[in-house]
Amino acid sequence: MADPDSETPARDDDSDRERHPLAMETLVALCAARGFIYPASEIYGGIAGFWDYGPLGVELKNNLKAFWWRRMVRERDDVVGIDSAIISHPRTWEASGHVEGFSDPMVDCRTCKRRFRADQIEGERCPEAPKKRAVAECDLTEAREFNLMLRTELGASVDEATTAYLRPETCQPIFTGFKRVREAARQKVPFGIAQIGKAFRNEITPRNFTFRSREFEQAEMEFFCHPSESGEWFAHWREQRLQFHRDLGFAEDLLRTRPHAPDELAHYARAADDIEFLFPFGWQEIEGVHDRGDWDLSRHSEYSGKELAVTDERTKERFTPCVIETSVGIDRTTLALLVAAYRQETLENGEERTVLGFHPALAPIKAAVLPLSKKLAEPARAIQRELRRHFNVFYDDAGNIGRRYRRQDEAGTPYCITVDFESGDDGHVTVRERDTMDQKRIPIEGLERYLRDLLEDDR
Ligand code: ATP
Summarised one tens digit per residue, pLDDT across range 173-215 is: 999 999 999 999 999 999 999 999 999 999 988 999 999 999 9
Ligand 1 within 6 A of CB of 167: no
Q: How many residues does the chain have?
A: 459
> Which atom of ligand 1 approaches the CA of 274 most closely?
18
Whether residue 10 has pLDDT greater than 50: no
| pLDDT value of residue 120 | 75
Ligand 1 within 6 A of CB of 197: no
Q: From CA 379, how far away is CA 387, in angstroms rounded?
A: 13
Higher pLDDT, 54 or 15: 54
- Residue 149 contacts residue 93 (beta carbons within 8 Å): yes
Q: What spacing in Å lies between the alpha carbon of 119 and ligand 1's midpoint?
A: 17
Whether residue 136 has pLDDT greater than 80: no
Residue nearest to atom 20 of ligand 1 (CA): 329
Ligand 1 within 6 A of CB of 245: no
Torsion over CA: 95, 98, 99, 101 (sign): positive
Q: What is the mean pLDDT of residues 44-62?
A: 98
* Preceding peptide of 190 cis, ω within 30°: yes
Ligand 1 within 6 A of CB of 264: no
Helices then strands (H, E): number in the chain? Answer: 14, 23
Work out whether strand 415-419 and strand 367-371 pair parallel, antiparallel, or are unpaired: parallel
Ligand 1 within 6 A of CB of 286: yes
Strand partners, 11: none
| pLDDT value of residue 4 | 33
Q: Print the SS3 string covering 36-67.
A: CEEECCHHHCCCCCCEEECHHHHHHHHHHHHH
Residue nearest to atom 25 of ligand 1 (CA): 212
Residue nearest to atom 31 of ligand 1 (CA): 329
Q: What spacing in Å lies between the alpha carbon of 360 and ligand 1's midpoint?
A: 27
Ligand 1 pocket test target in 218, 255, 276 with most atoms within 8 Å of CB: 218
Residue nearest to atom 23 of ligand 1 (CA): 329
Whether residue 129 has pLDDT greater than 80: no
Ligand 1 within 6 A of CB of 212: yes
Q: Using 50, 70 and 90 to split pLDDT, how confident is the model at 161?
A: confident
Q: What spacing in Å lies between the alpha carbon of 329 and ligand 1's midpoint?
A: 6
Residue nearest to atom 4 of ligand 1 (CA): 2
SS3 165: strand
Q: What spacing in Å lies between the alpha carbon of 3 and ligand 1's midpoint?
A: 9
| pLDDT value of residue 356 | 98
> Which atom of ligand 1 approaches the CA of 216 most closely?
29
Ligand 1 within 6 A of CB of 203: yes
Higher pLDDT, 139 or 92: 92
Q: What spacing in Å lies between the alpha carbon of 287 and ligand 1's midpoint?
A: 8
Q: What spacing in Å lies between the alpha carbon of 102 and ligand 1's midpoint?
A: 13
Ligand 1 pocket test target in 98, 148, 264, 327 with most atoms within 8 Å of CB: 327
Residue 420's closest CA among 405, 406, 441? 441
Fold annotation for 356-455: Rossmann fold (3.40.50)
Q: What are phi and psi for residue 166, nearest 5 degrees?
A: -75, 130
Ligand 1 within 6 A of CB of 172: no
Q: From CA 247, how far away is CA 252, in angstroms rounded?
A: 11
Ligand 1 within 6 A of CB of 190: no
Where does residue 281 rank: exposed (0-12), middle (13-18), buried (19+ CB within 10 A)?
middle
> Which atom of ligand 1 approaches the CA of 212 most closely?
28
Amino acid present at 305: G
| pLDDT value of residue 133 | 73
* Rounded alpha-carbon distances, angstroms, from residue 116 to 20, 303, 404: 28, 34, 46
| pLDDT value of residue 107 | 86
Q: Using 50, 70 and 90 to split pLDDT, how confident is the model at 143?
A: confident
Q: What spacing in Å lies between the alpha carbon of 212 and ligand 1's midpoint?
A: 7
Amino acid present at 167: R
Q: Which DSSP symbol is given to 142?
A: P
Residue nearest to atom 10 of ligand 1 (CA): 1
Q: From CA 332, how far away is CA 210, in angstroms rounded?
A: 7
> Which atom of ligand 1 approaches the CA of 220 most closely?
14
Residues of the chain with pLDDT > 90, as a percent, come to 78
Whether residue 17 has pLDDT greater than 50: no
Whether residue 16 has pLDDT greater than 70: no
Q: Give span(s): CATH 3.40.50.800, the chain.
A: 356-455
Q: From CA 254, how far away is CA 46, in angstroms rounded?
A: 31
| pLDDT value of residue 20 | 56
Q: Give span(s): CATH 3.30.930.10, the chain.
A: 24-94+167-338
Summarised one tens digit per residue, pLDDT across range 364-392 is: 999 999 999 999 999 999 999 999 999 99
Residue nearest to atom 24 of ligand 1 (CA): 212
Summarised one tens digit per residue, pLDDT across range 304-348 is: 999 999 999 899 999 999 999 999 999 999 999 999 999 999 999
Q: Kindly indicate whether the domain formed by 24-94+167-338 is annotated with CATH number 1.20.120.1200.
A: no
Ligand 1 within 6 A of CB of 288: yes
